[in-house]
Structure formats: structure tokens, C-alpha cells
Amino acid sequence: MKQRLEYIDIAKGFTIIMVVMGHIVLWDMKGASQVKVLNFIDSFQMPTFMLLSGYVLALGSFPPKYGFWGTAIRKFRQLVIPFLIWGIFITPFILKRIDIPSYPQYLKTWLLHPDNGLWFLISLFDIQIAFSISRFISNRLTKCNSKIIDLVTVAITLLFPVAWKVCYEQLVSESDWGG
């Protein structure tokens, strides 16, 4: 069993508590005070959680224990499968209680705009895959200056989710589903 870093667990726990507090504020407060408190909490809760998750990933061994593709498949199972199950089955049939004839329209809308409350799972998957790709490339550039390796790693990690979103939006705009 790997040794856990308590200070990271505590910090991640704090951000999770802030997410819960944000949801409580969303439902229990109204008006300008709600907006101010939500803006404050939203300014750091998820970015901090993602940063801490990435930090823990960076501390892990590379190449990963299961290799790049094995790790990508594990992360897909851990993050993307729950996102898909929630969006394709739980949300429409249990939370929204839509009927079967309405399901194709729901599915089309969800595929074009897949935010179902679990957006952070896809974001975390994107970040972890981007980081793994950048680590792979930086390991291949071992003869280069370490500052260049760091720059490549940061650039790929930051640009991957942006490129993913641009490609997705292009696909949506070109599809007959758009609009």
C-alpha cells in the first residue's frame, strides 16, 4: 500500500467541504449575499481540488505502474464510465423521470452539452491524460534542458483540454445536431 500524504488528504477534504458548503449556500441563501458567498467559494474550490489531484498524480511513478495505455484505461473506468452512467441513465430516468419517447431528444441534447453535475470527472480525466502525455514527451526529451522539459509539460497540460474543447465545439457545429 502506498503511503498517503495527510496534508494533501486534509486539503482535498477541505475543498470537498467547500463544495458541500457551496451547494448549501445555493439552496439556502438568496440575493446578493448568496452571489458573494458563491463567487468566493467557487473561485477556489474546484481549481484547488484539481490542482491537488494533479499534484498527487505528479508524485506517482512514471512511467505508471500499468503503462500509459493501462493507466488511461483505468482512468477511463474510474472517471468517464461513472460520468456516462450518470448522464445516460441516472439523470434522465431517475432524477428527471423522462418518458421513453422523450429519451432520444434528451440524449441528443446531453451529447451536445454533457454537463450533468459531474463535469469535474471529465475535467479530471482530461487533465490526467494531458499530464501523462506531457510526462511521456518530457521523458523522451531527457537530453534537453530541464527548463525546456518543464515548459513542454506545462504547455501540453494546459493546451490539451483547450484543444479538446475546440475540437468538440467544431464537431458540434458541423453536425446535423447543432442548433
Give the pLDDT score at 81.
92
Give the global pTM: 0.59
Helix, strand or coil, per DSSP, at residue 136: helix
Count Cβ atoms within 10 A of the Cβ of residue 172 and give its class: 0-12 exposed, 13-18 middle, 19 or more buried. middle
Give the list of residues 6+ apart from residue 114 with CB closer than 8 angstroms, or none: 83, 87, 122
E-only strand ranges, the chain:
none
pLDDT 10s per residue in the chain (179 long)? Answer: 467 778 888 888 888 888 888 878 777 777 777 777 777 877 777 777 777 776 676 666 555 677 778 888 988 999 899 988 988 888 888 888 888 898 988 888 887 777 667 777 877 887 777 777 777 776 676 666 666 666 766 676 666 666 666 666 666 666 555 44
Give the pLDDT score at 28.
74
Q: In this structure, which amino acid lies at residue 172?
A: V
CA nearest neighbour of 176 among 100, 102, 112? 112
Give the pLDDT score at 96.
82
Give the pLDDT score at 77.
93
Give the pLDDT score at 35.
77
Give the list of residues 6+ apart from residue 25 with CB closer than 8 angstroms, or none: 34, 37, 38, 41
Q: Is 134 within 8 Å of 159 (Cβ atoms)? A: no
Q: What angle do CA 14, 19, 22 make, to 5 degrees?
A: 125
